[in-house]
Amino acid sequence: MRLTGDLTPGTMNSSGSGNFLLVPIPECPLLDCVPNKTVKIVVLGASNVGKTALIVRFLTKRFIGDYEANTGALYSRKVTLEGEEVSLQIQDTPCVTLQDDAEGLYCQEQINRSIYWADGYVLVFSITDNDSYRTIQPLYQHVRRIHPSGNIPVILVGNKSDLLRARQVPADEGETLAAALGGVYFEASARENHEGVHAAFLHLCQEVIRALGGGNGEKRRGGLHLARPKSPNMQELKRRFRQVLSSKVKSATTL
Ligand SMILES: Nc1nc2c(ncn2[C@@H]2O[C@H](COP(=O)(O)OP(=O)(O)OP(=O)(O)O)[C@@H](O)[C@H]2O)c(=O)[nH]1
């Protein structure tokens, strides 16, 4: 769903699905961008699982509770990660739906564009809704089809953990699925708890920065991720120096 009422500063909104990601998203809308340090995250999941609530909770620490139907909004903020300032963009999306015929997933074209655009993925289901959980695997496969190779930073969020009595998805199933997708599972309640939501988003941001090569703007597109060569540290240089010296001493004494 889309956040109603006043949009917080730094929030870009596309009113009406027609505008949803139809134009390229500016790297740093309404903000002084941090050059080459932009983390782009998309939040995906079935209907009513709390995608908007999670984003709003993370960015404002508040739970508003009532949102109008989601047409897709892009939220943008500057955050400090591991001591460095980063421009964070989070794309909210309309829901995806499972088709009756087995693995079919209905995903609007705008969502595909967001998936292509993003660097990191928050896959959300509600612990009270088994169908929303069943959507996750095909959804991940869909992301994989759009990014066929390379590392895909992803987290799995089981939302609405305050509704324990209505639980349909056990926590260990969430953990197992997250591990199979190569991500981490977070159980959270956008309604009752900011810390859990914050920890989840923060973890993903860190994963994205790692995947992008230390946040220096290298792009993962095409799946190619080259590790940056490490420069030798002082200890290592001293060790090499001693090695060279001792081999010279040896060859001098053998003469
Ligand atoms: N109890 C409880 N309710 C929640 C929680 N998160 C969201 N909700 C409620 O669930 C409903 C759906 O929340 P949204 O954030 O609009 O969900 P969405 O996934 O964006 O929904 P779509 O627009 O259908 O894609 C709202 O009534 C929220 O108040 C939660 O952690 N606990």
pTM over 0.90: no
ipTM: 0.99
Residue 198 to residue 206: CA distance in whole angstroms: 12
The three-state DSSP-derived secondary structure of 9-65 is CCEEECCCHHHCCCCCCCCCCCCCCCCCCEEEEEEEECCCCCHHHHHHHHHHCCCCC
Residue showing tokens 């949102």:
67
105-106 vs 73-81, strand pairing mode? unpaired
Å from CA of 67 to ligand 1 middle: 8
* Closest C-alpha among 209, 143, 171 to residue 135: 143
Task: Output the pLDDT for position 83.
Answer: 84
Residue 243 has φ and ψ, to the nearest 5°, of -60, -50
pLDDT in 10s for each residue of the chain, 255 residues: 544 433 333 344 433 333 343 333 344 454 455 566 889 999 999 999 999 999 989 988 888 777 666 657 888 888 888 788 889 999 999 998 887 665 678 888 889 999 999 999 999 999 999 999 999 999 999 999 999 977 899 999 999 999 999 999 999 999 999 999 999 999 999 999 999 999 999 999 999 998 887 544 445 444 333 333 334 344 544 555 565 556 555 554 444
Residue 11: count of CB within 10 angstroms of its CB: 20
First-to-last C-alpha distance (Å) of the chain: 82
Q: Identify the CATH number of the domain in which residue 154 sits.
A: 3.40.50.300
Å from CA of 51 to ligand 1 middle: 7
Residue 4 resides in a domain: no
Residue 50 resides in a domain: yes
Question: What residue's CA is closest to ligand 1, atom 6?
Answer: 50
Residue 91 resides in a domain: yes
Residue 205 resides in a domain: yes
Task: Output the pLDDT for position 215.
Answer: 45
Number of domains in the chain: 1
Å from CA of 53 to ligand 1 middle: 6
Give residues (CB < 6 A) around ligand 1.
1, 45, 47-53, 65, 67, 69-70, 94-95, 159-160, 162-163, 189-191
Question: What residue's CA is closest to ligand 1, atom 2?
Answer: 160
Residue 75 resides in a domain: yes
The three-state DSSP-derived secondary structure of 181-225 is HCCEEEECCCCCCHHHHHHHHHHHHHHHHHHCCCCCCCCCHHHCC
User: 208 and 153 in contact (C-beta within 8 Å)?
Assistant: yes
> In angstroms, how far is CA 24 from the centroid of its own chain?
19
DSSP 126-160: ETT-HHHHHTHHHHHHHHHHHS-SS---EEEEEE-
Q: Residue 66 belongs to what domain range? A: 38-211
Residue 219 resides in a domain: no
Residue 18 resides in a domain: no
Residue 1 resides in a domain: no
Å from CA of 170 to ligand 1 middle: 19
